[in-house]
Amino acid sequence: MTKIIKFIPNSITISRFLISIIFSYCILECFLYGENKFISLTVLYLLICTSDIFDGKIARKTGFISKTGAQLDVFADLFFLVSSYISLIFVGVLPMWFLVFIILKFTEFSITSNFATRNNKSLKHPFVFDKVGRLVSASFFFVPFIACFDKILFPYSQGHILNIVLYIIMSAGIYSSILRIKSCLIMTKIKGGYLL
């Protein structure tokens, strides 16, 4: 029984890859072929969000937290974002620059987390999170649904509200990156024997 429970969190995370593919396919069907997929998109989106919440909670509650599971969770999140954003860009709902920003932010997050864990042995988790960065990454999750909702319910709008939301998220993401890089530089200075 313990062996089965051990695989539940990672199985939930892995299911997010499949659900993300179906979500992206529904985006294409909805916006390319005019099929009403709002309910399907909503249900799939809620499944993705629910699986993202519960895989970690179950892992912590059962004591089966692993570095592999944490990394798999982050990559499942990234897969959802990239696949849904590519679909939304392809159908003209989202601008390409926002996907580039997400990839750059994820790269910065990975590099600064790796740097922090190598230079601070008290950190047990492979990824280091900051408060602003958590809000930014959570908002990355909301954008696909907001974009679909906006385009389906307001098909003739120019997407001004969505663009404002995207610029606010980007500004917060840049601020988070500055804080993270500054923190890494401070770690380097402390290790070298002096502070800024």
Task: Tell me the per-residue pLDDT of 160-176, one tens digit each, with 9 for 90 and over.
Answer: 888 899 999 999 999 99
Q: Which residue has the tokens 């993705």?
A: 48
CA dihedral 52, 53, 56, 59 (to 10 degrees): -110
Domains defined for the chain, CATH in brackets: 2-191 (1.20.120.1760)
What pLDDT, on a 0 to 100 scale, did the predictor assign at position 114?
A: 83
- Decide: 154 and 93 in contact? Cβ < 8 Å: no
Taken as a whole, the chain contains a residue count of 196
Tens digits of residue pLDDT in 92-110: 999 999 999 999 998 998 8
Q: Which residue has the tokens 């919440």?
A: 53
Question: Within 10 Å of residue 194's Cβ, how many Cβ atoms?
Answer: 7
How distant, in Å, are the alpha carbons of 26, 96, 146 from that of 33? 10, 21, 20
What pLDDT, on a 0 to 100 scale, did the predictor assign at position 121?
A: 65
Whether the model pTM is above 0.85: no
Q: Residue 24, exposed/middle/buried by CB under 10 A (0-12, 13-18, 19+)?
A: buried
Question: Within 10 Å of residue 67's Cβ, how many Cβ atoms?
Answer: 11
Q: Does position 193 have pLDDT exceeding 60, yes or no?
A: no
Q: How far is 188 from 60, CA to CA, in rounded Å?
A: 32
Q: Give the helix, strand, coil percentages of the chain, each rounded to 5.
A: 80, 0, 20
Question: Within 10 Å of residue 64's Cβ, how many Cβ atoms?
Answer: 16
- Listed range (4-8, 71-75, 132-136) with the worst mean pLDDT: 4-8
Mean pLDDT, the chain, as a whole number? 87
Give the distance between the most distant pair of CA atoms in the chain.
Answer: 63
Q: Does position 194 have pLDDT exceeding 60, yes or no?
A: no
Residue 106 falls in which region: left (phi positive, over 0), alpha (psi -120 to 50) or beta? alpha
What pLDDT, on a 0 to 100 scale, did the predictor assign at position 172?
A: 97
